[in-house]
Amino acid sequence: MTSPSNSPIQNGDANQHDFPWSRSEKVIARKAFDAALKRELHELIQEAKQMASRIQQPSDLWDLEHYLTERRKQINRTYDYRYSQLTLVFGKLLCQNWLGEEELRGLGEDKLKSIRSYAKFLAEMAAA
């Protein structure tokens, strides 16, 4: 098991500041980012519709509002399109299955290694 002190971030494996992004990599990254966000938002819309259809009393309405507010905050924290953060974002999205590795094809091997490493770390932490 990997401990937080052995995280890829602290070991420098995910030091995204060292990664220059080429023009073609930026195009691939934007497409993958947008596709993952679209998938997650589509699922959220379906969940919200189901929850809304079950509203029977005022407290149910506020439960839905609270749920949507928390999900919005979570999505805003996750989807950070700064190049300095993208390897971490993609690692998390890969781990959570919002993104497939094939969508990242064309990124440099250094970035892919960092993304895979972080996804693996997150999976190990979740299993612990």
Tally the residues of the chain: 128
Q: How far is CA 40 from its chain centroid? A: 9
Residue 52 has pLDDT above 80, yes or no: yes
Res 10 pLDDT > 90: no
Asked which of 16-20, 51-55, 111-115 is least confident by mean pLDDT, the reply is 16-20
DSSP the chain: ---GGG-TTTTTTT-GGG----HHHHHHHHHHHHHHHHHHHHHHHHHHHHHHHT--SHHHHHHHHHHHHHHHHHHHHH----TTTHHHHHHHHHHTTSS-GGGGBTB-HHHHHHHHHHHHHHHHHHH-
What's the rounded mean pLDDT across residues 1-17?
47
Q: So what's the pLDDT on residue 1?
A: 43
**Position 3 pLDDT exceeds 90:** no
Residue 19 — φ and ψ, nearest 5°? -100, 110
Which pTM was predicted? 0.84
Confidence of residue 19 (pLDDT cuts 50, 70, 90): confident
Interval 60-81 mean pLDDT: 98
